Structure 1
Amino acid sequence: MRTSRPKRRRPQIHAGTPVWLFDLDNTLHHASHAIFPAINAAMTQYIIDALQVERDEANRLRTGYTQRYGAALLGLTRHHPVDPHDFLKYVHTFPDLRAMLRSERGLKRLVDALPGRKIVLTNAPEAYAMDVLKELGIERLFERVIAIEHMRDRRFWRAKPDHMMLRRAMRDAHVRLADAVLVEDTRSHLKNYRRLGIRTVWIVGHLPRPARADGTPAHLPGTGRPHYVDRRIRSLKSLRPGTRPEGRSDR
């Protein structure tokens, strides 16, 4: 006779003194509204100009390197003679960043109310990250920004979800992995870092929704809570103590 295995309870995000690791784009602001389309277009154009390839090939390289390495920059620097600093500056420069930003109402109050330390962990460059945080009025809420320039080692540029990079970054910031809570929109990053013992929060409120045939928004594919996600939320409001029982999803 087969016996069913007891269900294992998901780790809870306990109140206390966690260290919050916030992604930037589509986590602290709605990058899919205007910024991501502009970045993707700029990346493609940069690849066209730098490598002298057609647009379809440039798009293939951009998306392929992003999926393989976590950031297009990593593939470009490993396989092509591309200046990483020039690339980052080109694709993250906007004539009117303020007009492109969208964020939750009361963002500063929501982030400030969270107990514990707060760090931004982003595959974007530092200058862009700081500009976004300043425009959002929340730059002083974070003790540091760990941007892609800070993730590199002596041999390679690295980015989320690289394990070696995160261990080193947390060691430099004096953060125990067991104390860290990663708030992130990218599931592959959450999945990789959950294996290190980090608690994970998947925020989906800024993710682009596919359209139905009639043009109305459809449900995001696969938006249940995967086993490597401790909490799934739509809004940072759900991180406030007492807003929802710990461990449940914000459906």
Structure 2
Amino acid sequence: MSNHKPSAPVWLFDLDNTLHDASHAIFPAISANMNTYIARVLHDGVNEVTQERIDAARLGYWKRYGATLLGMMRHHGVDAPHFLRETHDLKDLRAMMRSEAGLGRLLRRLPGRKILLTNAPLDYSSHVMRHLGINRHFAHHIAIEQMHVHRQLRPKPSKLMLARLLRRHGVAARDCVLVEDTLANLKSAKQLGLGTVWVTQYLRRGERSTLAMARPRRLIRPNYVDVKVKSVRQLPRQLHRLR
């Protein structure tokens, strides 16, 4: 029987709506950019490109593949770098950002190595991290461009990608914790044996009502979530529940 007991976990942190409030202004701006991009791709010069068709593509592909980009690539032959560059072209990112104070102190207090794991592109996520002032607390920064498996783009919630990441960094799933706002990503991580933390404070009303079902005042914790926190600042107090 194994007596394995790690001294500290390896943390995989999501970025948007986990470490900062992307729903405030950033996500609406990215969605607007995506709408423009998708409308351009769908336009055939004959049929009207309605908002309904645009929404069906943007949201439908996100729900089906975990990222709108994958659907645009698979069904419309879109070039990934071009899509990411165009949709994440935000003129005044710093002014759009909202976040809690003390993130750096939190990350410094939290024992263990930290890795940023985001489905956002590298250029955008690097700027966000710099504005948050937390770059130095992360050993690695893994953005969507680095999420290829067998030459195929496999962003979260891909278990293939997660398993490869663990092998590459020499860490066992049981020693790793994913901190996320997106339940689908947490579910696939738990299926691999990772610890899971669900961050809820930046979920907007529409997301909340869908998740809470019959009890809209309370977000129900699914069985694949080990710890539910409003803010990542609550993590140090929850360490005992992740062992």
TM-score of the two chains, using structure 1 as the length reference: 0.85
What's the % identity of the aligned pairs? 50
Q: Does the CA-based 8 Å contact 1:210-1:220 persist in structure 2?
A: no
Distance in structure 2 (CA, Å) of the matches to 1:245 and 1:148 = 28
Unaligned ranges ≥5, structure 1:
1-13, 212-218
Q: Is the 8 A contact 2:117 2:143 kept in 1?
A: yes
Greater fraction helix? 2
1:30 to 2:21 alignment: yes
Counterpart of 2:167 in structure 1 is 171
Q: Is 1:81 matched up with 2:77? A: yes
1:231/1:58 CA distance change after superposition, 3 Å:
same
| 1:51 aligns to 2:32 (yes or no) | no
Q: 1-side partners of 2:185 and 2:217: how far apart?
A: 17
Change (3 A) 1:221 1:198: farther
RMSD: 2.0
Shift of 1:51: 2.3
Q: Compute the displacement of 1:39 (Å).
A: 1.0
Aligned CA distance change for structure 1 residues 202 and 15 (closer, same or farther; 3 Å): farther
User: Structure 1 residue 223 and structure 2 residue 219: aligned?
Assistant: yes
1:1-251 equivalent positions in 2, closer than 5 A: 16-52=7-43, 53-210=49-206, 223-240=219-236, 243=237, 246-247=240-241
1:169 Cα deviation after fit: 1.6
Q: Using a 3 Å threshold, how does the CA distance of structure 1 residues 107 and 34 change in structure 2: closer, same or farther?
A: same
TM-score, reference length from structure 2: 0.87
Count of equivalent residues: 226
The residue identity in structure 2 corresponding to 1:97 is L
Counterpart in the other structure of 1:8: none
How many Å apart are 1:96 and its aligned residue? 0.7
User: Does the C-alpha gap of structure 1 residues 114 and 158 become closer, same or farther in structure 2, counting only changes over 3 Å?
Assistant: same
Distance 2:224 2:238 in 1: 19
